[in-house]
Amino acid sequence: MQKARRDAAHFVDDYLPALLAQASQLISGEFHRVVTAHGFSVSEWRVLATLAGNEPMSIGSLAQITTIKQPTVTRLLDRMEAKGYVQRVENDGDRRITLVRITPTGTRMVSRLIPLAREHEQRVLEPFGLERAEDLKSTLRSIVELHRSSGSDGLDED
């Protein structure tokens, strides 16, 4: 019985999804304190950071990138639209799809946090050196792309 518990502990200590989840939770949690200190919810930050500098995107794409379930994103967008941070626009190519874009107010608000996020990222990655940090990010982007096409959303509620 003791060996089974030890093996289970070793399993999660070396299991990629568990390691990714722990790293994400720890690193994100550090920056989320900054986000909330600036008066945003974590979900608002995720949406604004995703839309900043991008073309309007569908609610489904926004949900996938922010890792927030689509019904939650829809409710969040209602609140953010009321605050003037985002705007829904019609998709000329397909009226069934609603696009979302960041407003000038939303851009102003998120532009205060993006430099702080970059500083946080630099502090997190600095111990590994620039080359290893870029390799890690490249590998993670590849993992995301490979598994995004599999259709699994794996989204958490916020």
CA dihedral 43, 45, 48, 52 (to 10 degrees): -140
Report if residue 119 sits inside a domain: yes
Report if residue 107 sits inside a domain: yes
Query: Count of domains in the chain?
Result: 1
Report if residue 29 sits inside a domain: no
Q: What is the pLDDT of residues 88-111, one digit of tens each?
A: 998 877 778 889 999 999 999 999
What pLDDT is stored for residue 91 in this prediction? 81
In a 13 Å sphere around the CA of 67, the CA atoms on its Cβ side amount to: 9
Q: What is the mean pLDDT of each run of 10 residues along the chain (158 residues)?
A: 58 90 94 95 96 94 94 96 95 84 96 96 95 95 87 49
The CATH number linked to 99 is 1.10.10.10
Structural domain range at position 87: 41-148
